[in-house]
Amino acid sequence: MEYVFVVTYGRSGSTLVQGMLNAMPRTLVRGENGLYVQHLFRAWQAADEIREQRKGAPANKPTNAFYGINALTRKRFVRNAHRLVKGGLLGAEDEQDYDRLGFKEVEWHHLEPQETAPFFDWFDEVCPDAKYVLNTRDVEQVMGSGFWQRRDAEESAAAIDRVLAIQEHLRTTRPDRVLDTRYEVITGEDRAASDAALTQLAEFVLGRCDETQLDALRATLEVGHGPNPFGKSRRDQQGA
């Protein structure tokens, strides 16, 4: 099984990108989930901390307060986290029907700077060779949406900056497993540029893109995605 995840911020057009990915054969990319994988990572960190403190021969005795802590290994935890993540993505779907799984998420800013590197190292063990689509959109346009306007402006800017920093971390550390996508290019009036971006996305995920696949991605552009598809910010741009 291959894995692909969309790393972005709210109102960047990520649901459209999700739709593009789901328009690819044998690919299932789910929507947002509150970045619950961060809590799995932190659960491992908490377990590993106490394990490091209490592991050893005494913990093998049933009379020891930390009996069994030696059995808690990173390999076992990762294996079970993998089952949980894959099972959560598949849901009731048959694993045999898919070659690629993933999700798109806009809550990446909750990752603290100091945990960014260890989190993605751990996540790469849970979902080996995972690919990351780094989606962006003009921040001023994004900040003008109701999603961000309902929040404190400084906190919103900091959240977006945090995601941009995480994207840069992935570009630097995993250059062969990341692809940058830009909302304005994908949805823009320049058909050649849009087609090039769609082709690049398909080639990144599938390793190929024929005319049939490109047509499927073009068709996805005509379908509304997200809470306000083709919404106010896009209408304002077109009417400007």
Encode pLDDT of 200-214 as tens digits: 999 999 999 999 999
Of the CA atoms within 13 Å of residue 73, those in its CB half-sphere come to: 6
Structural domain including 69 reads 2-239
Directed axis angle between helix 211-221 and helix 14-22, to 10°? 140
Count CB atoms within 10 A of the CB of residue 224.
12
Q: What is the CATH number of the domain that holds 202?
A: 3.40.50
Number of folded domains that form the chain: 1
Reference 202, options 8, 13, 1, 17; nearest CA is 17
Q: How far is CA 100 from CA 95, 130, 134, 192, 209, in A?
A: 10, 10, 17, 27, 16
Encode pLDDT of 43-77 as tens digits: 999 999 999 899 899 999 999 999 999 999 999 99
Mean pLDDT throughout 77-83?
A: 98
Encode pLDDT of 2-44 as tens digits: 999 999 999 999 999 999 999 999 999 999 999 999 999 999 9
